[in-house]
Chains A and B, each alone.
Chain A
Amino acid sequence: MSLRIVVCVKYVPDATGDRHFADDLTVDRDDVDGLLSELDEYAVEQALQIADEADDAEITVLTVGPEDAKDALRKALSMGADKAIHVEDDDLHGTDVIGTSLVLAKAVEKAGYDLVITGMASTDGTMGVLPAILAERLGVPQVTLLSEVKVEDGKVTGRRDGDSASEQLEASLPALVSVTDQSGEARYPSFKGIMAAKKKPVESWDLSDLDLDAEEVGLEGAYTVVESAAQRPARTAGTVVKDEGEGGKQLAEFLAGQKFI
């Protein structure tokens, strides 16, 4: 039987751009180019490797986001995923992690899955909690923050490197896995992959396809409110000296003046 893998990805504003907030205090998506979140490339990569090892596997890449989010799906398809689902609805604007996880859970269930793979966090929100919430909603084992992952005989195993210990984990499928940036360099799409991706199916679903109401998502449905966002004042320019042989001593003098020594 085919192993059904669903990879959840996010379309984010480029972290090297000048990111800021829109007037409604959501992430501004107009002024900075968007792309597939770098941390989600690792999830796509691991899905591809797991699919390679399986006798028969199908990778669906799933995103929730505005029109342009299709770019993220195309990137994943060009890396080698088989098909894509784009959940897009004007009412989704301003959805927080609680709402996003609800939409993803419904979509993953509708798509059908044995294994859900995500990145460790998005590069814009950077909360890192969506994988755990999605596992909770799906009612499947959470096998998260893996730097090594393997799927064999209906089981997923992997290594989770925590602050105080490194743990070897095991769970039965269906399960949810998140992978870190230590799981292995993501491949670049080949020219052939890019051409093939243009022909791969991208389905579009809206809230009604998932039996969700507008009130459950969006800014209105959010469980959190951002009251203000302020640009951090630029750090005041400090002293920069050129080492003429006494640089270390000068630095020590500065640190002593600041009472660090």
Chain B
Amino acid sequence: MAEVLVYVDHVDGAVRKPTLELLTLARRVGEPVAVALGAGAEATAAVLAEHGAVKVLTADAPEFAEYLVVPKVDALEAAYKAVSPAAVLVPSSAEGKEIAARLAVRIGSGIITDAIDLEAGDEGPVATQSAFAASFTTKSRVSKGTPVITVKPNSAAVEAAPAAGAVEALAVTFGALATGTKVISRTPRESTGRPELTEAAIVVSGGRGVNGAENFHLIEELADSLGAAVGASRAAVDAGWYPHTNQVGQTGKSVSPQLYIAAGISGAIQHRAGMQTSKTIVAVNKDAEAPIFDLVDYGVVGDLFEVVPQLTGEIKARKG
């Protein structure tokens, strides 16, 4: 069976969930060979093996942290040359997409980004994508070179599939471009203790109707009662009520959770683009005409300052 390269997104050896989902999809297309780079790379091997990686290629060098993107492209290219895979799969983070795209050009291949599903096909893997603010679904494949495909979080279930996961050191030589963009400083984001927005099973978002940063605690309390991530509409972010990293929509994150709760969000196209593939959608808005109600499985026309705290209280009561 052909091998498939899977680029590993990890933080100091802790593998992030989208990579494990990627292994599920990779096994449909071939035998997953993982590529883990940077500090803690070897520590990823155990969990990758549990989820189907037959091999884990690792490399660490200061360049991975000190320079932007290109050193990782050099390493992934080295892995590509060593393995000659049938496909290369990369998690659809901002950085993941850049790494994948540069690799594709180098190896003379086409690239598909933000796949939400992947299946084997006669002429190579077929990727499903959402288009035009998720109003269309397309199926595409790479027709030249080795398919390079980035896959969005929540596109597949994480499945246990024990494999050897043998660690092998990957020899990497950095090219002249690798040190082009220096990372002068890095300020890690403070952890909120909540799940990652794009990876969460439940997302609770607030919009213009929240009416001030000081009221966002209502959204956070509801999120915490459900173990959910917190999102915000562009209106709320532009008003400075919540950080841009939490923005859901066309220019923010695109999420596809099991449950999406929109509070005080009208549901403009910009926002819908980022959430309308959610499995179940619930909204609270005082305007009965708000377009968000066209999308909902359940909607409450009412004042979120009444409805949301009541909902949070009821959830807490039911959970005991």
Contacts and interface: CB of A to CB of B under 8 A. Distances in A.
Interface residues of A, number: 84
A142 B137 CA distance: 31
Contact of B314 (A130, A240, A248): A248
A231 B299 contact: no
Interface string B287-320: 0100001111111111100111111111100110
Contact of B181 (A120, A141, A161, A255): A141
B306 A129 contact: no
A145 B319 CA distance: 42
B158 interface: no
Contacts of A168: 183-186
Given A129-B98, A163-B196, A15 B269 contact: yes
Contact of A229 (B138, B187, B270, B313): B138
B188 interface: yes
Interface string A187-198: 000000000000
B70 interface: yes
Nearest to A131: B98
Interface in B78-97: 93-95, 97
B132 A235 contact: no
B104 to A, nearest CB: 7
B68 A142 contact: yes
A145 B189 CA distance: 17
Interface stretch (A46-54, A77-85, A132-140): A132-140
Nearest to B185: A168
A120 B294 contact: no
Identify which of B93, B133, B196, B308 gathers the most chain A CB atoms within 10 Å of its CB: B133
Contact of A243 (B113, B184, B300): B300
Interface in A131-169: 131-133, 135-137, 139-145, 147, 157, 160-169
Interface stretch (B33-41, B55-63, B139-147): B139-147
Contact of B140 (A97, A129, A161, A225): A225
A248 B296 contact: no
Interface in B96-145: 97-98, 100-102, 104-106, 109-114, 126, 130-145
Interface stretch (B24-32, B162-170, B208-216, B276-284): B276-284
B284 A247 contact: yes
Contacts, number: 263
Interface stretch (A16-24, A60-68, A108-116): A16-24
Interface residues of B, number: 91
A129 B109 contact: no
A162 B104 CA distance: 22
B273 to A, nearest CB: 8
A259 to B, nearest CB: 10
Contacts of B94: 128, 145, 162-163
Contacts of A161: 244-245
A137 B106 CA distance: 9
Contact of A251 (B73, B140, B185, B282): B282
A2 interface: no
B182 A171 contact: yes
A158 to B, nearest CB: 10
Given A248-B308, A258-B280, A16 B269 contact: yes
A241 interface: yes
Contact of A238 (B139, B184, B202, B297): B297
Nearest to A143: B181
A240 B288 contact: yes
B43 interface: no
Contacts of A204: none
Interface in A242-261: 242-243, 245-252, 254-256, 258, 260-261
B46 interface: no
A127 interface: yes
Contacts of A254: 282, 297-298
A166 B298 CA distance: 37
Identify which of B130, B131, B189 gathers the most chain A CB atoms within 10 Å of its CB: B131
A146 B242 CA distance: 19
Given A132-B101, A229-B136, A232-B136, A142 B180 contact: yes
A143 B68 contact: yes
A226 B140 contact: yes
Nearest to B312: A248
B297 A227 contact: no
Given A128-B97, A170-B182, A227-B138, 11 more contacts: A128-B113, A129-B111, A136-B102, A141-B177, A141-B180, A161-B245, A169-B184, A223-B109, A251-B284, A251-B311, A260-B202
14 contacts: A97-B111, A98-B104, A128-B97, A128-B113, A166-B189, A223-B143, A224-B110, A225-B143, A226-B138, A228-B138, A235-B297, A238-B298, A239-B298, A242-B288
Q: When A and B form their complex, which 9 residue pairs have the shortest distance between CB atoms, in order from nearest? A: A243-B302, A248-B310, A223-B110, A141-B180, A129-B101, A252-B314, A248-B311, A132-B98, A240-B299
